[in-house]
Chains A and B, each alone.
Chain A
Amino acid sequence: AQKITQTQPGMFVQEKEAVTLDCTYDTSDPSYGLFWYKQPSSGEMIFLIYQGSYDQQNATEGRYSLNFQKARKSANLVISASQLGDSAMYFCAMRVYQAGTALIFGKGTTLSVSS
């Protein structure tokens, strides 16, 4: 069965510091994609970054990078130089292409950035 696990209910970080949000996944399918979304209090889901299972390099998008360790089945999100506006809920998600197209979400991590 496919599963996403986020073990950190909440994380606290100071402005300008880097923070890592953990995500592990479980699937036996070789073809899958891993996603991170940000959900501020307004509720919208904002796409941050994507990593395909066959991608050789870790994905990066501005201050976001995905630390993809395939053997460990982990896909941690690293946010560099945190900003107050980064305070939000963060969801890790997986899509297994053979099984269908829907995303499977983790329970989320609430990130709080303080000044």
Chain B
Amino acid sequence: GAVVSQHPSWVICKSGTSVKIECRSLDFQATTMFWYRQFPKQSLMLMATSNEGSKATYEQGVEKDKFLINHASLTLSTLTVTSAHPEDSSFYICSAEGGQETQYFGPGTRLLVL
């Protein structure tokens, strides 16, 4: 089946630093990738839709300058949390559109901002 990887799997950083999370589709090409955020015991909240070669589409309430998304190739999308603060601590998970209209998810990245 389709495999999506994320790196890093977890990260701890100091407040004010920037953190980059990579999402890769390993065995298929994905023109569209999605970034979600999930708080403990809650559902996934779509942050943005990442399209290869164009600007990302952000959901209402998501700060574009805070969460920078780059989709430079058909297999890689990156999410950069700029000037991270403790309230940005969360589980970030990406997905890539595969065959049969299915989205395949990465394993997620746990971010803790101290």
Check A52 against B101 for contact (C-beta < 8 Å): yes
Nearest CB in chain A: distance from B107 CB, A: 5
**Among the listed B34, B42, B100, B106, which residue makes an inter-chain contact with A103, where contact means beta carbons less than 8 Å apart?**
B34
Q: Across the interface, which residues of B come within 8 angstroms of A91, CB to CB?
A: 43-44
**Contact status of A35 and B102, CB under 8 A, knowing A101-B32, A101-B97, A105-B43:** yes
Residues of A within 8 A of B107 (CB): 42-44
On chain B, the residues within 8 Å of A104 by CB distance are 46
- Asked whether, in the complex, the Cβ of A95 is within 8 Å of the Cβ of B108, the reply is no
Interface positions, chain B 14-68, Cβ under 8 Å from A, are 32, 34, 38, 42-44, 46, 49
> What residues of chain B lie closer than 8 Å to A97, measured between beta carbons?
101
B-side binding surface: helix, strand, loop or mixed? Answer: strand
Residue in A42, A46, A50, A107 whose CB lies within 8 Å of B101: A50
Counting contact residues on chain B (CB < 8 A from A), the size range is: 20 to 34
Residue A47 lies at the interface, judged by CB distance under 8 Å to chain B: yes
- B101–A33 CB distance below 8 A: yes
Tell me the smallest distance from the CB of A5 to a CB of chain B, in Å. Answer: 11
- Decide: A102 near B101, CB < 8 A? Known: A42-B107, A43-B110: no
Residues of B within 8 A of A62 (CB): none
Contacts of B32 in A (CB 8 A): 101
Contacts of A95 in B (CB 8 A): 101, 103
Chain A residue at smallest Cβ distance from B100 = A50
Q: For window 53-96 of chain A, which residues contact chain B by CB distance below 8 Å?
A: 91, 95
State whether the Cβ of B78 lies closer than 8 Å to any Cβ in chain A.
no
